[in-house]
Amino acid sequence: MAILGKIQRSSGVAIIVIGMALFAFLIMGLLKNSSSLFQPSRDYVGKVNGVKIPTKDFQEYRANLQKRYGPGYSSSLIMRQTWDYFINQKLLEDEFKKTGISVSDDRVFDVLKNDPNIRQYFTTSQGVFDENQLIDYLEKINESKDINSRQYKDWINSIKSIKENEGRKIFTYLVRGALNPTIKEGEWAYRKETDKVSFDFVTVPYSKIPDSVVQVTEDDIENYVAAHPDQYKAKESRNILYVKFENKPSKTDYDAVKAKLQSLIEDQVVFNEKTNKNDTVSGFRNTPDADAFVKKYSDHYRPVRWFTADELPKDIADTLQKLPKGAVFGPFLRKDKFFVYKIVDRKDGVPKTADASHILISYQGTGIPGVTRSEDEARKLADSLLQVVKKNPSKFADLVKEYTDDKASVPQGGTYKDFSFGKMVEPFSEFVFTHKKGDIGIAKTRFGYHIIRVDKLSKDKTALIKLAELNKDVEPSETTIDSIYAQVALFTQQAIKDGDLNKTAKAKGKAVMPVKKIFRYEANLPGLGEQPELVRWLYNKKTKVGDVRRFETKDGYVVVQYTGGTPEGPMPVAEASVLVKPILLKQKKFAYIKDKLKGASLDEIAKNSGGQKGHVEDVTLDAPMIPGMGKEPVVVAVAFVTPIGKISDPIRGEYGAFVVSPTKITPAPELDSYYPYVAQLKRKESNNVLNRILTSLKDKAKIKDNRPNLGY
């Protein structure tokens, strides 16, 4: 109290000093306890009309999307979809409030019970949907919210999703209901489609006037862009130059893989520690089981199988066909793989095509629907049927109808015609093409047991080669990767020192590539793939034009230099020029031409202007085509309103400058009702109505993007 008394009796200066001290104390306390006073908030990713999008919700939705689509899906697309979802959701929530739209629990339950994917889980033994089962299930979920929070949360998210979807449906129906074109609009749609006009014309094509005759300046382009701001907006973007370093194998890596494959071809002597003796291990040439060998030693296992001459690898087919049984060919390089082939077996003079009939006896596990017999039962049945058809071949077709599990072949009596060796599963083909016409026997395939009858063998012959393929990928070794990394590090250091990626790359003999218009959150870059870290660096406030940095890619490294960009706002003149200059050239050429389009007749106008005459018959506003010149809606519209025989004022068309003189106008007959055209207009206006509304709402909304402050 004594202190307070002293303060009260102090002079004004003393009070100010004390006040400043107290203020400083408070400020220091705030700075110690929270940095949020001067830093952007991290609890929301954006605002829509002042309503926050919570960071936690955004991250959860984004993570769920990534999980749904898989790790290979573009992270930039995930980001865009998540952002669009929350923006649209907030905009629609505002509209729902204004229109009083709400989705009741009863409606949600109706959606659930009418969903066929849900109904299938709540059916009786007779296959009838039981609503009570669904209700019991929902009650159990609700009761388990404290026990199984994950399941309960998923359920809450599902309900939320249903309410959002139903709300959108209601909103869309309301908007569509408000779209009511008038009878007059329906009549106008009819007349645009069916009223016709014929006219003579004179045109001077813009292409006839050299660009040098008129001048389009940078000021012209800038003024045009300023007059049409909505059409020529530039999104904020960045530009880069980059040099790519790929982790490619060295010559040493290729030699090492080739040597490894060569060592696998011949038998090897290996010391056996158990027996304390040397063992001989069969190589690829002498192995008794080529399939097991390639499965063990190949990087990409391909089963040993029979090949026709047409199926052999094209680049070595001629060589393989000349090799005898047991021969080995390779190693040879194809792209980044070494291959060795072995001729396991060969059959010459094999028919090119065959006809055969079969009875398939399948068993459980072969994937044939409805089959319940065991494999042993299938084998015994197949054996017994074989004995029957061998004694009485005429019964084959009847047995097909009664027993075969290949129902698709029943109408043909179990017969397949004119197939080559490779068209059927291999054991089936091997039986057919190694037997004589009329032979009957059994072959087992992955589909079951086949009782096969060879019906026909073509006279044209081919060779069959049983081929084993041993392969090894050539990949950069750790030594090679370390060497590449060292090159990249030195290159990056030099580029930073030079401040010019082009200069450094030229000195090192490396190619420089540009990427322009890199937008924030669009990280899939041409030639580089997904590079979200690179894009974040470009949009970091600390990154300056000219900065150089190294980034890792899926197949190596990339050294990048930030070369500048375009701020958000009116499109720069250099960028807009490509779009605007052709428009302004047409405008200026029309101004140059129109004074020459004068005369008492079309012939005189053509003579004065150097233009060409023409005629158009029966065109409509819906299809305003002038042959050889394309669509000219303004020219045709003027023809409709110009009196017959009169000459119009000059018209600025798409192809050139025109004058028209109508020769005939044919109005369409009156209709008793224009309702079909009204309905057609309504359907057209209703198409994609929700997206059109959302686009309009976004244009008018105040949207604040806080993602940059969160490091996205």
CATH number reported for the structural domain that contains residue 523 in this entry: 3.10.50
Whole-angstrom distance, CA of residue 361 vs CA of residue 449? 5
Residue 500 lies in a domain: yes
* DSSP string covering 134-182: HHHHHHHHHHTTTT-HHHHHHHHHHHHHHHHHHHHHHHHHHHHHH----
Residue 675 maps to a domain: yes
681 Cβ contact partners less than 8 Å away, ≥ 6 residues apart: 181, 185, 186, 189
26 plus 86 within the same structural domain: no
Confidence at residue 2, expressed as pLDDT on a 0 to 100 scale:
39
Structure tokens at 443: 């072959």
**550 and 589 fall within a common domain:** no
How far apart CA 479 and CA 621 sit, in angstroms, is 72
The per-residue pLDDT for range 581-637, each reduced to its tens digit, is: 999 999 999 999 999 999 999 999 999 999 999 999 999 999 999 999 999 999 999
For residues 602 and 699, state if they share a domain: no
Do 450 and 403 fall into the same domain?
A: yes
Q: Are residues 188 and 76 in the same domain?
A: yes
What's the CA gap between 507 and 96, in Å, rounded? 63
**Which residue in 711, 704, 676, 603 sits closest to 201, CA to CA?**
603
Please give the single-letter amino acid code of residue 325.
Answer: K
In this structure, the answer to whether residues 341 and 364 fall within a common structural domain is no
Q: Residue 415 burial by CB count (10 A; 0-12/13-18/19+): exposed, middle or buried?
A: middle
Q: What is the pLDDT of residues 204-231, one digit of tens each?
A: 999 999 999 999 999 999 999 999 988 8
List the CATH number of the domain containing 449: 3.10.50.40
User: Could you give the CA distance from residue 280 to residue 272 in angstroms, rounded to a whole number?
Assistant: 10
Note whether 341 and 360 are same-domain residues.
no
Number of H helices, E strands in the chain: 24, 27
For residue 407, being part of any structural domain is answered with yes
Six token digits for residue 132:
């009570």
In whole angstroms, how far apart are CA 141 and each of 61, 149, 150, 155, 512?
A: 22, 9, 10, 8, 59
Q: Which of 106, 78, 102 is nearest to 164 (CA)?
A: 102
For residues 273 and 339, state if they share a domain. yes
In contact, 570 and 563? CB cutoff 8 Å: no
Domain interval for residue 653? 196-209+584-666
Residue where a domain terminates, one of 648, 666, 684: 666
For residue 15, the model assigns a pLDDT of 41
In a domain, residue 226? The reply is no
Comparing C-alpha atoms, which of 391, 392, 414, 419 is closest to residue 403? 414
How far is the CA of 483 from the CAs of 247, 486, 489, in angstroms?
10, 5, 10
Angle made by CA atoms 23, 27, 29, in degrees to the nearest 5:
120
- Check whether residue 81 and residue 204 sit in a common domain: no
Q: Of the residues 536, 567, 598, which one is the last residue of a structural domain?
A: 567
Burial 519-547 (b: 16+ CB within 10 A, else e): ebbbbebeebebbbebbbbbbeeeeeeeb
Domain count, the chain: 6
Which secondary structure element, helix H or strand E, spans residue 681, and what is its range?
helix 675-686
Running along the chain, 712 residues long, what does each successive block of 10 average in pLDDT?
A: 39 42 41 47 90 92 89 86 92 89 87 84 79 84 71 81 88 85 93 96 96 93 91 92 96 96 91 81 94 96 89 90 94 94 92 95 91 94 94 93 92 93 88 93 95 94 92 96 96 96 96 94 89 92 95 94 92 90 96 94 95 96 95 97 96 96 95 92 86 89 89 79
Cα gap 589→657, rounded to integer Å: 8
Query: Is the CB of residue 570 less than 8 Å from the CB of residue 232?
Result: yes
Per the DSSP assignment, residues forming a β-bridge with 518 are 238
Q: Are residues 617 and 557 in the same domain?
A: no
What pLDDT was estimated at residue 601? 95
Of 459, 484, 500, the last residue of a domain is 459
377 in any annotated domain: yes
Give a yes or no: residue 174 inside a domain: no
Q: Could you tell me if residue 406 is inside a domain?
A: yes
Residues 329 and 271 occupy one common structural domain:
yes
Query: Is residue 241 in a domain?
Result: yes
Same-domain status, 54 and 183: yes
* Residues facing residue 449 across a β-bridge: 361, 444
